[in-house]
């Protein structure tokens, strides 16, 4: 990014946000067009020069946020989106809000766990840069399957987090699921694998989407060739409603005896529950059973959802 353009973005931001000048006045001041001012202000937001925060005048947030907190004991950020918006756009808008919120959660000397997936991929594209030091981003679960190693896909997501926060990135180059539980047990004894698992055990923040087999925007684990017919049948027989980092759970929060979990490379849910802050991000009403199950499992301390999903989450089932 050119230094003169950053300087111009800083000047435009100061005039617009601090001096209440109009775009026309700023354009005249800087001897540029109004559209150039608009682009400079966008650059100021995207590069972290400007950090926009919205504070609710209501003491506890919106009604939906308060109801979610009272019922589930989690902190919610509800994104107002009309029902007419497509599911793809809905996900993008929730992801953008979550990315902005993350900037207030992340700080220096933190270890951040990130689970790959469609939702977190969208979040990673909207992250706001923040100057930090001694931050590490660690991958929560393997990404390989019969068709691909998954390294390129997961790496792209993690690298975006690393670039936004000036963080070191630790990948987890194992498959999403082993064919044999015994293979996982043997792999977990390897020193290189134990090093990653030990990092996961020290996380300050975990960031993840909530997978659902019924979502309108398919979760990558269900649509990306990770599961075969036998796996889907096994999950249905075991009553699984969703997953976090490829670890499956039921609507009542139980998960240990779901057979596929014996082969997954995602963190055991009791380990994940020990992370101080656990941010779940989800969009679309069809995610309600999966998100409710994740919350009941004790996996979530904070959640970003769209308004339709928030209402579905609160609906009696």
Quick: pLDDT tens for 277-311.
999 999 999 999 999 999 999 999 999 999 999 99
> Is residue 264 over pLDDT 90?
yes
> Is residue 316 over pLDDT 70?
no
| Of the listed ranges 23-32, 41-50, 154-163, 219-228, the one predicted with least confidence | 219-228
What's the predicted TM-score (pTM) here?
0.82
> Is residue 156 over pLDDT 80?
yes
Q: Mean pLDDT over all residues of the chain?
A: 90
Closest CA to 91 of 237, 216, 278: 216
Q: What is the pLDDT of residue 150?
A: 63
Distances, alpha carbon 264 to alpha carbons 27, 33, 200, in Å: 56, 55, 15
- What percent of the chain clears pLDDT 90, i.e. is strictly above it? 70
| Dihedral angle over CA of 305, 307, 310, 316, nearest 10 | -160
> Is residue 249 over pLDDT 90?
yes
Q: What is the pLDDT of residue 197?
A: 95
Closest CA to 269 of 208, 191, 192, 187: 208
Q: Are 169 and 76 in contact (CB under 8 A)?
A: no
| Of the listed ranges 60-64, 129-133, 250-254, the one predicted with least confidence | 60-64
Q: What is the pLDDT of residue 59?
A: 44
What is the mean predicted confidence (pLDDT) over 118-129? 93
- With cut-offs at 50, 70 and 90, classify the pLDDT of residue 1: low
Q: How far from chain centre, in Å, is Cα 198?
A: 22
Q: What is the pLDDT of residue 47?
A: 82
Neighbours of 53 (CB within 10 A): 8
Q: What is the pLDDT of residue 149?
A: 60
What the block records as the tokens of 306 is 């769209």
What is the mean predicted confidence (pLDDT) over 111-118? 94
- With cut-offs at 50, 70 and 90, classify the pLDDT of residue 186: very high
Q: What is the pLDDT of residue 295?
A: 97
């Amino acid at each position: 990014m050119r230094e003169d353009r950053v300087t111009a973005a800083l000047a435009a931001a100061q005039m617009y946000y601090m001096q209440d000048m109009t775009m026309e006045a700023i354009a005249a001041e800087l001897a540029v067009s109004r559209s150039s001012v608009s682009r400079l202000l966008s650059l100021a937001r995207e590069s972290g020069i400007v950090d926009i925060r919205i504070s609710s005048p209501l003491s506890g947030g919106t009604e939906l946020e308060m109801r979610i907190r009272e019922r589930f004991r989690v902190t919610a950020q509800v994104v107002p989106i009309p029902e007419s918006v497509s599911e793809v756009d809905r996900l993008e808008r929730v992801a953008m809000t979550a990315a902005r919120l993350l900037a207030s959660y992340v700080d220096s000397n933190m270890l951040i766990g990130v689970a790959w997936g469609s939702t977190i991929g969208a979040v990673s594209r909207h992250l706001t840069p923040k100057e930090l030091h001694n931050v590490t981003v660690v991958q929560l679960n393997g990404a390989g399957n019969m068709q691909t190693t998954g390294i390129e896909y997961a790496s792209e997501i993690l690298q975006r987090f690393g670039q936004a926060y000036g963080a070191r990135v630790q990948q987890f180059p194992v498959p999403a699921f082993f064919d044999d539980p015994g293979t996982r047990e043997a792999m977990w004894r390897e020193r290189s694998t134990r090093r990653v698992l030990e990092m996961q055990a020290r996380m300050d923040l975990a960031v993840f989407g909530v997978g659902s087999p019924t979502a309108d925007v398919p979760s990558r684990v269900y649509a990306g060739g990770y599961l075969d017919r036998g796996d889907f049948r096994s999950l249905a027989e075991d009553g699984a409603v969703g997953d976090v980092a490829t670890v499956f759970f039921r609507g009542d929060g139980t998960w240990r005896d779901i057979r596929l979990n014996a082969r997954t490379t995602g963190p055991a849910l009791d380990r994940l529950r020990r992370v101080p802050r656990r941010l779940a991000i989800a969009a679309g009403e069809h995610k309600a059973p999966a998100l409710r199950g994740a919350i009941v499992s004790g996996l979530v301390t904070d959640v970003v959802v769209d308004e339709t999903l928030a209402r579905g989450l609160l609906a009696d089932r």
